[in-house]
Chains A and B, each alone.
Chain A
Amino acid sequence: MFGKWRRQVRNWLANKMELPADILMDLPRITMIGQIHIYIENHRGLLSFSDKEIRLLLKQGQLLVKGEAFVIKTILPEEILLEGKISQVLYLDE
């Protein structure tokens, strides 16, 4: 009940005060450079990884990236830079 109310307040703040939504609402910020790089901030850990797909845990739900020849260039507790040929970025809700 209380959590829902807080989310609504944050949403309202993000809309009305033009504050970045990723900070207020703990959403991932995804930067892609063409097909070759994808940079994901605010993830919550690595779920599975192969050279064809990567599955990341988010605050809410999961992120699935599909493609070919994946290499994790850098991985830090909340950031990840992925290199390869990206074809799909999917959000999965439980």
Chain B
Amino acid sequence: MKNQWLSYFSGSVKVKLSGKGIERLINACLRNDIFIWKVKKHDEYTASFYMLLKDVSKVRLLVRKSECKLYFIDRSGMPFLIKKTLLNSGFFIGTFLFLLLIFLLSNMVWNIQVRGAKPETEYLILKELKKMGIERGAFQFMIDDPEAIQKKLTDHIEAITWVGVELKGTTFYFQVVEKNQPKPEKKMGVRHLVAKKKAVITNMFVEEGQPLVSVNDYVSKGQILVSGFIGKEGQTKTVPARGKIFGETWYKSTVVLPLQSTFHVFTGKYYEKHYLSFKNISLPVWGWKKPAFSHYEIEQQKKPFHFWRWKLPLFYERVIYREKEKVERNYSWEEAFQKAREIARKELLSRLEDDASIKGEKILHQAKENGKVRLEMHYQVIENIGTPQPIIQGD
């Protein structure tokens, strides 16, 4: 006996026969290897049975020779199911499109709100955002993450000190703290100006207070330069001493620089791979090749997809391979000394305040020792040596 459930795949039909000689027709079917089942006789001249869809044409031939008529009553099985599904496919496509639409819309930026900014700053911010591709209708997985946006905004817009970036659902919130450019001058307490360190005074510019030293004086650390007491003896009053006292100070610095050093630099070439990841499974979407770099650094960015207001456990992952290059640097002795001097100077300048300048430099000592140069430098620097010291008044 044949497996009847296999007929589900090939499809089967229920037929009704009416007329004389039904038995003869059934026998004819058997002889022609037509498989039939569930034969039922309703009355003397009608019967119904099931048969395979593929045998329909054969049965038709036999029916034509007999005195019966054939009616199709029911159809079942995969071929009919597929036909039906195709007819209803519009419904499924519609459902799918709807879900896709919701999905896309959930991953868009719909609103940008800037708080705490003056109109002109807000305009600047919006312009900057537009440059970054953040505007209404932009896809969230195409733009940077909030931290990067925050960094870019604070870097590019002078007028703001800090900006808080938050992505809530489909809305970007920017909380801006603007720089108060001209700061209201603080009321200073009464004070002296004292020397920060030992120096020889080269220039003095006193705004308020009684200068106690003059140009070319040698002062030591902590010595009062400009007194906060003014007026004649007996009638003194206290003021906040202000001014700039420039003095020549001395610095010593030692730099050790190896002749040969290796380090890695990025060449600027990169290769991107895009993935759709679900939990631990990553499905590559774009970029199947292996990066053609021998040395590289991997940068990963992972962003969740949204549906409505929920984060899906589905991520968009971007992996960037940045090519690295090993660079070897070799200096000759002369170059190394030259470089060491530059380094020492730079280092010193970065330590000094803006209004300071280097007046002169002297090499105290320079030595070559196993593959390195050692350089000791002495610098004469003109800088503001005045530093405020509050006058603590007794009662």
Residues of A bordering B, CB below 8 Å: 45-51, 70-77, 79, 81
Contact = CB atoms under 8 A, between A and B. Distances in A.
A58 B38 CA distance: 22
B35 A46 contact: no
Interface in B324-344: none
B38 A45 contact: no
Interface in B30-44: 30-31, 33, 35-44
Interface in B1-34: 1-2, 22-23, 26-27, 30-31, 33
A75 B26 contact: yes
Contact of A71 (B22, B23, B40): B40
A49 B23 CA distance: 7
B20 to A, nearest CB: 12
A46 B23 CA distance: 6
Contact of B39 (A47, A49, A77): A49
A72 B23 contact: no
Given A49-B23, A49-B26, A76-B30, 11 more contacts: A46-B26, A46-B27, A47-B23, A49-B22, A49-B39, A51-B41, A73-B37, A74-B1, A75-B37, A76-B1, A77-B31
B37 A51 contact: no
A48 B40 CA distance: 12
The A interface is mostly helix, strand or loop, or mixed, namely strand
Contacts, number: 47
B47 A45 contact: no
For chain B, which range describes its interface: under 10, 10 to 19, 20 to 34, or 35 or more residues? 20 to 34
B316 interface: no
- Residue picked from B31, B41, B49, most chain A C-beta under 10 Å: B41
B247 to A, nearest CB: 116
Contacts of A81: 1
Interface string B95-120: 00000000000000000000000000
Contacts of B2: 74
B23 A48 contact: yes
User: 6 smallest A-B Cβ distances: which pairs?
Assistant: A72-B39, A45-B27, A77-B30, A50-B41, A46-B23, A74-B37
A33 B162 CA distance: 90
Contacts of B43: 50
B41 A73 contact: no
Contacts of A71: 38-40
Contacts of A75: 26, 30, 36-37, 39
A39 to B, nearest CB: 9
B22 A76 contact: no
A28 to B, nearest CB: 16
B37 A72 contact: yes
Given A79-B1, A81-B1, A72 B27 contact: no
A48 B39 CA distance: 12
A73 B40 CA distance: 9
Contacts of A70: 41
A49 B47 contact: yes
Contacts of A48: 23
Contact of B30 (A45, A49, A50, A51): A45
A76 to B, nearest CB: 7
Nearest to B35: A76
A73 B38 contact: yes
A49 B42 CA distance: 10
A75 B43 CA distance: 19
Contacts of B39: 49, 71-72, 75
A51 B1 contact: no
A71 B41 CA distance: 7
